[in-house]
Structure 1
Amino acid sequence: MKWLINLWRTLNKPTKALTLGAVSISAFIMGIIFWGGFNTALEATNTEAFCISCHSMESKPYQELQETVHWSNHSGVRATCPDCHVPHNWSRKIARKMEASHDVWGWLFNTVNTPEKFEAKRLEMASREWKRFDRDNSLACKNCHNYNSMKWESMSPLAQKQMKRAAEIDQSCIDCHKGIAHHLPEMGTARAPELIAEVGAGVSSLETNQTYYSALTKPLFFSEKGDVEAGTLNVATKVKVLETKGKRIKIGIDGWRKKIGAGRVIYMDFGVNILSAQLSKDAAETEGVIQTFEEKEDPMTGLKWQRVEAQIWTDKDYLLTELQPLWGYARDTFRSSCSVCHTQPDEAHFDANTWPGMFQGMLAFVNMDQDTQALVQKYLQEHSSTFVKKEH
């Protein structure tokens, strides 16, 4: 301890031998040494070799990168990990390095050290990177790709139309090009995490003879205990609770079906292809599951339709008391996701039977899990010109 006190006194003692110039030059040289050492260390942690060793990434994302054009192409230009994941701007680079402390924590505790753990975390990690790219307006992409340098004539007509529109507004590349270097997360099993975060997991207690709306696509069952599935209940479908048994409820689904085949598909209304539920063939043919009422012929197609009620079991979770939270989320998703490539049409621009084909054409350019896709399509159909009369 004594030597530390003596050192402190020496450092605080005014110099007798050195001039101000000598002190200034010494400080300048020490500054250069410090800055050089700092930047050397910074660049050493900014290499692909460091990334795939420290982050235990070599077995998954590094192998996926090697399957893409960013690894091998006719020009011989290759993107490395830091090219995309470390900002080139110095202040943002330092901020990103500070954020990387989270990665060090994950490496220490083996958060993604197996393929199973990696897949379980893939959606979370991908979402975090997409948000960062969106925040930086895909600057990492634009360090190599420049709208002004693109050869429009070499693109397909569709690509020209979309890319020229993107260039006009300096659009973020990640809006349309998710999954360009690594595999996309399995969105079908994600259970719409952003949707549930927005609208909630549903009511905790259900009352018989009351109506509710499904917040997710849910499996249907033959009984209150069995595991044999009898079909699927679509998102945003109105149901009536008929009976409660443990973790399951018996519900009534009112709607219409086409009088063809087993009549397994239940639609929301006569003549419109808005899906409410799809029963299995066995369920549709089981006595007591479907009750039929009136019958009508569609003058547009000549098909006969039946008004029906299906009585079947499902789990109690993910049921809401009102549709508005679902419609609010669907509206915001449609207006944000479906406007990145072009100006999206008004909801009432098409009728309910035209929207599915139009919407399916948009899905190649956006990233939605299956529940969100189904919800947005249903929102567009139920707010279409079939139900909302509006001049265009």
Structure 2
Amino acid sequence: MNWMKNIWRSLTTPAKHLTLGTIALSAFIMGVIFWGGFNTALEVTNTEKFCISCHEMGDNVYEELKSTVHYSNSSGVRATCPDCHVPHNWTNKIARKMQASKEVFAKLTGAIDTREKFLEKRLELASHEWARFDANGSLECKQCHSYDSMKWEDMSKLAQKQMKRAAENDQSCIDCHKGIAHHLPDMGASRAPQLIAEVGSGPRSFDNDASYYSSLTKPLYLSADTDVEAGLLNIATKVTVIDSSGERIKLHVDGWRKRIGAGRVIYFDFGINMNSAQLTMDAAKTDGVISVFEEKEDPLTGLTWERVELTIWTDADYMLADVQPLWDYAKSTYSTACSVCHTQPAEAHFDANTWPGMFQGMLAFVNFDQDTQALVQKYLQQHSSTFSDEKH
């Protein structure tokens, strides 16, 4: 321990022979050496060579980049990994480097060390990066692509219209240009990770006779212990829990159905084509599953509708006690994603039965997973002129 005491004594004893100038100069030189070493190491980690040194990146997204205009083009200007994915200003760059510790941990644990694991996590990874671009207005893109430098006359009429509107609002590039440098995730088969991250997966215990709302589209079952699906419970559907067993809950769904065929589809309200649930043919014919209370003829179509109550089981996960978080997420998603090409119509601009056709026409221009698509459509229908005082 003597050597440690000697070092400590040397560090804490005032200098007897060194001048203040010598100490200051030595400190300055040591500071320059430290800063130079730190900055050199920082810049090494800020190169494409470093990024693709891990096979997770080199074998997946880098191979995709090589087939795009950002990698090879007539002007010979290449956008490298850090050009797009590392902030250019120093403060945000350091913050991003600190966040990269998660990526180091993922490398050590083999989180995406196979192509299969990467594809499974692809939407989650892309969602994080899209959120970052949304938050900073695609600042990295705008280091090269400036609205002020664009030659509008060289664009097509449609591009001029969209880009000029984007320039007026200083719109984030990622709103329109997802998938421009890497392949898009499989949006159709995902389970809405951004939605669940915002609203949560819901409680695991339930009060009988209390109301809850499905936060995803969920399978239905005829009993608590069968694996045979009896249909689907649509997202944002109000249910009343009447029993629970293990990992499942038994519930009632109030609604209407058309008296045609087996009457497998349960609708939100009379005359409104807004699905709450749909059953298999066998489930719809099973005694005790559907109870009928009244009949009513739709004057517009001449079809007879029945007010019904569905009694069925579903998994206990992804049920919320309050529907408002779902509507908040749907409203935000509609406001951002559906304003890319034009000013989106107000929710009350159309009635509940018109919105599905209008909304389906927009889907070719956005990247929604199936649950988000169903949620936004239901949000528009339930906030349409049919149910709003602010009729168009």
- Name the TM-score, length of structure 2 as normaliser: 0.82
Match of 1:62 in 2: 62
- Give the Cα separation in 2 of the matches to 1:36 and 1:246: 61
The one-letter code of the counterpart of 1:282 is D
The one-letter code of the counterpart of 2:182 is H
Match of 1:117 in 2: 117
Match of 2:334 in 1: 334
Change (3 A) 1:77 1:280: farther
Match of 2:52 in 1: 52
The answer to whether the aligner puts 1:182 opposite 2:182 as a matched pair is yes
Match of 1:389 in 2: 389
- Give the Cα separation in 1 of the matches to 2:201 and 2:27: 61
- Give the Cα separation in 2 of the matches to 1:208 and 1:103: 44
Question: What SS does the corresponding residue of 2:56 show, helix, strand or coil?
Answer: coil
CA-to-aligned-CA distance 1:17-46 (integer Å, 9 cap, x gap): xxx89x97x999988877666555443332
- Give the Cα separation in 2 of the matches to 1:289 and 1:177: 47
Change (3 A) 1:95 1:327: closer
Is this contact kept in 2: 1:257–1:308, CA < 8 A? Answer: yes
Match of 1:281 in 2: 281
The one-letter code of the counterpart of 1:202 is G
CA-to-aligned-CA distance 1:178-226 (integer Å, 9 cap, x gap): 2322233444555334434444433443344444322221101132211
**How far 1:75 moved relative to its partner?**
4.5
- Give the Cα separation in 1 of the matches to 2:262 and 2:72: 52
**How far 1:13 moved relative to its partner?**
6.5
Is this contact kept in 2: 1:55–1:104, CA < 8 A? Answer: no
- Give the Cα separation in 1 of the matches to 2:332 and 2:357: 20
Change (3 A) 1:208 1:146: same
- Range with bigger deviation, 158-167 or 230-239: 158-167
**How far 1:282 moved relative to its partner?**
2.9
Question: What SS does the corresponding residue of 1:127 show, helix, strand or coil?
Answer: helix
Is this contact kept in 2: 1:289–1:311, CA < 8 A? Answer: yes
Change (3 A) 1:31 1:251: closer
Is this contact kept in 1: 2:385–2:391, CA < 8 A? Answer: no
Where in structure 1 are there 5+ consecutive unaligned residues?
Answer: none
- Range with bigger deviation, 32-41 or 70-79: 32-41
Match of 2:83 in 1: 83
Match of 1:272 in 2: 272
The one-letter code of the counterpart of 1:171 is Q
- Give the Cα separation in 2 of the matches to 1:376 and 1:341: 17
- Give the Cα separation in 2 of the matches to 1:337 and 1:210: 34
**How far 1:346 moved relative to its partner?**
2.1
The answer to whether the aligner puts 1:102 opposite 2:141 as a matched pair is no
Is this contact kept in 2: 1:71–1:78, CA < 8 A? Answer: yes
C-alpha RMSD of the superposition:
3.6
The one-letter code of the counterpart of 1:212 is Y
Is this contact kept in 2: 1:166–1:341, CA < 8 A? Answer: no
Is this contact kept in 2: 1:177–1:365, CA < 8 A? Answer: no
Where in structure 2 are there 5+ consecutive unaligned residues?
Answer: none
**How far 1:171 moved relative to its partner?**
1.2
The answer to whether the aligner puts 1:148 opposite 2:148 as a matched pair is yes
Change (3 A) 1:95 1:314: closer
**How far 1:119 moved relative to its partner?**
3.4
Change (3 A) 1:36 1:158: same
The answer to whether the aligner puts 1:169 opposite 2:162 as a matched pair is no
Is this contact kept in 1: 2:239–2:254, CA < 8 A? Answer: yes
**How far 1:386 moved relative to its partner?**
0.6
- Name the TM-score, length of structure 1 as normaliser: 0.82
Match of 2:343 in 1: 343
